[in-house]
Amino acid sequence: MAIDLRQFHGAFFDESFEALDSMEAALLRLDVGRPDPELINTIFRVAHSIKGGAATFGFAEIASFTHSLETLLDELRSGRMAVTPGISNLLLKTLDVMRAMLGAARAEQPIDMQCVADVQLDIELTIVQRDAAVTGPPPPPVTATAPPEEVAAPTEWRVTLEPGAEFFARGTDPVRIFRELSVLGDLRVTAHLDDLPSCRDLQPGRCYLRWTLVLVSNAPESAIREIFEWVNMDCELTVIRGKPVPGADPVAATGTLSVPSTAAGDPVPAEAAPAASAAPAGNAADAGSIRVGVEKIDELINTVGELVITHAMLSQMVGGLNGPAAERLRAGLQQLERTMRQLQESVMRVRMLPISAVFSRFPRMVRDLAQRLEKQVELKVAGETTELDKTLLEKIGDPLMHLVRNSIDHGIESAAARAAAGKPPVGTIQLNASHRGGNIAIEVADDGAGLDCPRILAKARSAGLVGPTQDLTREEIEQLIFLPGLSTAEVTTDVSGRGVGMDVVRRNVTALGGKIEVHSSPGQGSRFLISLPLTLAIVDGLCVSVGDQTYILPLTSTIESLRLAPGQATTIAEGREVFRFRDEYLPIVRLYENFGLIPRVRALHEGLVVVVEGAGRRVGLFIDGLLGQQQVVIKSLETNYGRICGISAATILGDGSVALILDVPDLIRSDSHRQAA
How would you classify residue 321: left for phi > 0, otherwise alpha for psi between -120 and 50, otherwise beta? Answer: beta
Q: What are phi and psi of 194, to 5 degrees?
A: -60, -40
* Average pLDDT of span 11-26: 86
Helices 9-28 and 362-373: angle between axes, nearest 10 degrees: 50
Cα distances (angstroms) measured from residue 19 to each of 45, 167, 625: 10, 22, 55
- Please determine, for residue 148, whether its predicted confidence score (pLDDT) is greater than 70: no
Averaged confidence pLDDT in the chain: 79
* Lowest-pLDDT range of 25-34, 51-60, 225-234, 529-538: 225-234
User: In this structure, is residue 595 part of a structural domain?
Assistant: yes
Q: How confident is the model at residue 499 (pLDDT cuts 50, 70, 90)?
A: very low
The pLDDT, as a whole number, for residue 267 is 40
Q: How confident is the model at residue 608 (pLDDT cuts 50, 70, 90)?
A: very high
The pLDDT, as a whole number, for residue 535 is 67
User: Does 310 share its domain with 430?
Assistant: no
User: In this structure, is residue 274 part of a structural domain?
Assistant: no
504, exposed or middle or buried, with CB in 10 Å at 0-12, 13-18, 19+? middle
Residue 320's Cα: distance from chain center in Å?
A: 49
38 CB-side CA count, 13 A? 0
240-244, 260-264, 419-423 — which one is most confidently predicted on average?
Answer: 419-423
**Final residue belonging to a domain, choices 495, 517, 533:** 533
User: Does 672 share its domain with 560?
Assistant: yes
User: Does 347 share its domain with 315?
Assistant: yes
Q: Read off the CATH number of the domain in which 217 is found.
A: 3.30.70.260
User: Does 330 share its domain with 360?
Assistant: no
Would you mind telling me the total number of residues written for the chain in this entry? 677
User: In this structure, is residue 145 part of a structural domain?
Assistant: no
User: Does 396 share its domain with 511?
Assistant: yes
The pLDDT, as a whole number, for residue 169 is 67
The pLDDT, as a whole number, for residue 567 is 86
Cα angle, residue 562 at apex, residues 558 and 564 outer, rounded to 5°: 140
Question: Nearest-CA neighbor of 237 among 250, 227, 248, 252?
Answer: 227
The pLDDT, as a whole number, for residue 241 is 84
User: Does 414 share its domain with 400?
Assistant: yes
**Final residue belonging to a domain, choices 499, 533, 567:** 533
Q: How confident is the model at residue 428 (pLDDT cuts 50, 70, 90)?
A: very high
Question: Nearest-CA neighbor of 347 among 385, 390, 315?
Answer: 390
- Please determine, for residue 575, whether its predicted confidence score (pLDDT) is greater than 60: yes
The pLDDT, as a whole number, for residue 676 is 63
Residue 548's Cα: distance from chain center in Å?
A: 45
User: Does 553 share its domain with 602?
Assistant: yes
- Please determine, for residue 156, whether its predicted confidence score (pLDDT) is greater than 80: yes
User: In this structure, is residue 140 part of a structural domain?
Assistant: no
The pLDDT, as a whole number, for residue 346 is 82
The residue type at 323? G
Q: Which domain holds residue 310?
A: 295-353
* Lowest-pLDDT range of 54-58, 340-344, 498-502, 562-566: 498-502
- Please determine, for residue 3, whether its predicted confidence score (pLDDT) is greater than 70: no
432 CB-side CA count, 13 A? 12
* Lowest-pLDDT range of 11-15, 89-93, 495-499: 495-499
User: In this structure, is residue 149 part of a structural domain?
Assistant: no
Question: Nearest-CA neighbor of 552 among 539, 534, 533, 536?
Answer: 539
Q: Read off the CATH number of the domain in which 582 is found.
A: 2.40.50.180
The pLDDT, as a whole number, for residue 144 is 40
The pLDDT, as a whole number, for residue 236 is 83
* Lowest-pLDDT range of 19-23, 199-203, 340-344, 500-504: 500-504
Q: Which residue has the higher pLDDT, 4 or 224?
A: 224
User: Does 108 share its domain with 69?
Assistant: yes
User: Does 177 share its domain with 259?
Assistant: yes
447: helix, coil or strand? coil
Q: How many domains does the chain have?
A: 5
Spell out the residues 6+ positions from residue 252 whose beta carbon is closer than 8 angstroms to its own. Answer: 154, 184, 185, 186, 216, 217, 218
- Please determine, for residue 179, whether its predicted confidence score (pLDDT) is greater than 80: no
User: Does 379 share its domain with 472?
Assistant: yes
* Sign, CA torsion 221/227/232/235: negative
Provide the percentage of residues in the chain whose pLDDT is more than 90.
Answer: 16
Q: pLDDT of 197-221, one tens digit each?
A: 888 888 877 888 888 989 888 888 8
The 8-class DSSP code of residue 605 comes to: T
User: Does 619 share its domain with 668?
Assistant: yes
Q: How confident is the model at residue 280 (pLDDT cuts 50, 70, 90)?
A: very low
The pLDDT, as a whole number, for residue 143 is 42
Question: Nearest-CA neighbor of 425 among 459, 448, 397, 404?
Answer: 448
Q: How confident is the model at residue 440 (pLDDT cuts 50, 70, 90)?
A: confident
Cα distances (angstroms) measured from residue 632 to each of 295, 526, 551, 554: 21, 37, 11, 9
Q: pLDDT of 117-128, one tens digit each?
A: 888 888 888 887
Provide the percentage of residues in the chain whose pLDDT is more than 70.
Answer: 83
The pLDDT, as a whole number, for residue 597 is 93
The pLDDT, as a whole number, for residue 619 is 92
User: Does 252 share its domain with 185?
Assistant: yes
Question: Nearest-CA neighbor of 295 among 335, 255, 350?
Answer: 350
Q: How confident is the model at residue 248 (pLDDT cuts 50, 70, 90)?
A: low
* Sign, CA torsion 466/468/472/477: positive
User: In this structure, is residue 459 part of a structural domain?
Assistant: yes
Q: Read off the CATH number of the domain in which 408 is found.
A: 3.30.565.10
* Average pLDDT of span 170-181: 75
User: In this structure, is residue 628 part of a structural domain?
Assistant: yes
**Final residue belonging to a domain, choices 533, 563, 590:** 533
Q: Which residue has the higher pLDDT, 464 or 103?
A: 103
Q: Which residue has the higher pLDDT, 462 or 601?
A: 601
Question: H-type helices in 228-322, by residue range?
Answer: 294-318
The answer to whether the CB of 183 falls within 8 A of the CB of 257 is no
8-12, 305-309, 372-376 — which one is most confidently predicted on average?
Answer: 372-376
User: In this structure, is residue 394 part of a structural domain?
Assistant: yes
State the SS3 of 245-311: CCCCCCCCCCCCEECCCCCCCCCCCHHHCCCCCCCCCCCCCCCCCCCCCHHHHHHHHHHHHHHHHHH
